[in-house]
Structure 1
Amino acid sequence: MTSTAPDGRSARWDEHRLARRRELVEAAVRAVREHGAQVGMDEVAATAGTSKTVLYRHFADRAGLYAAVAHRVDGTIVRGITRAAGEEPTAAREPRAVIRAVIAAYLHLVEDDPEVYRFIVNAPIVPPGERPEGDVTAGMTGRIAEHVAGIIGAGLGSPVTGPTAHLWGVALVGMVRAAADDWLADGGARSGRTADDLADDLTTVVWDGLRPRR
């Protein structure tokens, strides 16, 4: 009979490979912070203390490395939003404050790590021939939107689910992302508007709409 027991050496190798992949992703993030969003594979390899051959062995191509970094940043944004909103937002905060906390958390992450944000949004490291069709950040935006939809539903004490909840999440994340892009292009906090200023204005749009204030 042929044994089907898992090979311990194979499992240990898989764990080592995953750990090494995580190390390389962190090195890529450091390289972006050091060299800017236009960082190349040479700079990433140098920061990781390895060669481009090793990077391609773990990520196949530049799009693969970009996707891995995007997934890591995605997790950071989701955790930041979750902490800002609170574990039980309905018990801890007024609904409007929950909306404001979610928006501010996203914007503060942009303010604190602008080059990493530009790297994710613009994906300059991925050449045209390796880009997926459509928005390269669509997957990340969709995952964050689903998470935000759940927070908003809980914060509003609303049973809204399904397509409507998804629409709310996508709309909020899309609006904040567009505002963040414009804000960074204008110089970010150096423009005279802080992340909190922008969060206040966007919360007003979301909560009160575009009605003129008297």
Structure 2
Amino acid sequence: MTATEHSTDITVESHPVESHPVGSHRVDGRDARWRAHREERRAQLTEDAIRAIRQHGAQVGMDEIAAVAGTSKTVIYRHLGDRLGMYLAVCASVDRLILANFGAALQTSGATHRVRTNNPQAVVVAAIDSYLALVEHDPEVYRFVTRPPQVDVPRDADPVIGLSATIAHRLTELLAVDLRETGRDETFAPILAHGLVGLVRESADRWMTDPDRAPRSVIVAQLAEFAAIGLNGLLHHHEGESQ
């Protein structure tokens, strides 16, 4: 099957200044401008960090990031915090891109509300390809994101786990509809969704370590066929029993 085209340009967005309700303390205009400036500076430094990762690899150092940014480590620490803070900022940018591509892939496959709208394999292809597209385009950034710095990160704050949970939640919504409509127990939808996400993540990690790795389109097709066999059997088995 032909893989869906995806955007792989990581763009860091600055967050708008929050508005304040009537009657609350009004932020001085200079404070608002300074806050906006800090957000813009943080976004720019995050982009610089991503460029440095691409140039120097996943083991990039803060000195190399500062050199690419044309500033000092002190400035980076001021806006992004320590290496963990920089890591989390990069992860947030990558997460937004993966989620945007994932949503676009579901739109393209026609699976905005359910898996069985089209062939389940088309939905699985869209989901898998949206993830592997970034892995292939930005391998060093992917390695950086999936290998956090040697510091303790609470499980509920781990960006990799958080991204997997977000994608699995979206798949859960799709699967639950189909399980319910085919008379299956929809409470199993989260397990199935997380299983699919885990399959893709582990396969992506293995794929990236293979020096003679197969083309992305081949891996996507094989994984999709493997997963779709299970989905087809699960979603249509009950229908066969009722005939």
Structure 1-normalised TM-score? 0.82
Q: Distance in 1 between matches of 2:96 and 2:45?
A: 16
Counterpart of 1:86 in structure 2 is: 107
Q: CA deviation at 1:100?
A: 1.1
Counterpart of 2:190 in structure 1 is: 166
Tell me, yes or no, if structure 1 residue 75 matches structure 2 residue 67: no
Gaps of 5+ in 1: 210-214
Counterpart of 1:107 in structure 2 is: 132
Q: CA deviation at 1:145?
A: 2.4
Structure number with higher helix proportion: 1
Q: Give the conservation status (yes or no) of the 8 Å contact 1:38–1:119.
A: yes
Aligned pair partner of 2:209 in 185, 193, 203: 185
Counterpart of 2:82 in structure 1 is: 61
Q: Distance in 2 between matches of 1:172 and 1:58?
A: 37
Q: Distance in 1 between matches of 2:90 and 2:185?
A: 30
List per-residue Cα deviations over 1:169-193 (Å, max 9, x = no partner): 3221111010010011112xx42x1
- Match runs of 1:3-82 below 5 Å: 4-82=25-103
Tell me, yes or no, if structure 1 residue 147 matches structure 2 residue 170: yes
Counterpart of 1:116 in structure 2 is: 141
Q: CA deviation at 1:139?
A: 2.2
Structure index of larger Rg:
2
Counterpart of 1:98 in structure 2 is: 123
**Count of paired positions:** 200
Q: Distance in 2 between matches of 1:69 and 1:151?
A: 29
- Relative to structure 1, the CA distance from residue 20 to residue 150 in structure 2 (aligned partners, 3 Å threshold; closer, same or farther) is farther
- Relative to structure 1, the CA distance from residue 44 to residue 151 in structure 2 (aligned partners, 3 Å threshold; closer, same or farther) is farther
Q: Distance in 1 between matches of 2:187 and 2:76?
A: 39
- Relative to structure 1, the CA distance from residue 8 to residue 161 in structure 2 (aligned partners, 3 Å threshold; closer, same or farther) is farther
- Relative to structure 1, the CA distance from residue 158 to residue 19 in structure 2 (aligned partners, 3 Å threshold; closer, same or farther) is farther
Aligned pair partner of 2:152 in 128, 131, 135: 131
Q: Distance in 2 between matches of 1:66 and 1:16?
A: 21
Q: CA deviation at 1:5?
A: 2.4
Q: Give the conservation status (yes or no) of the 8 Å contact 1:27–1:47.
A: yes
Q: Distance in 2 between matches of 1:180 and 1:205?
A: 15
Q: Which amino acid aligns with 1:119?
A: F
Task: Give the percent of matched residue pairs that are identical in Structure 1 and Structure 2.
Answer: 41
Counterpart of 1:212 in structure 2 is: none
- Relative to structure 1, the CA distance from residue 97 to residue 58 in structure 2 (aligned partners, 3 Å threshold; closer, same or farther) is same
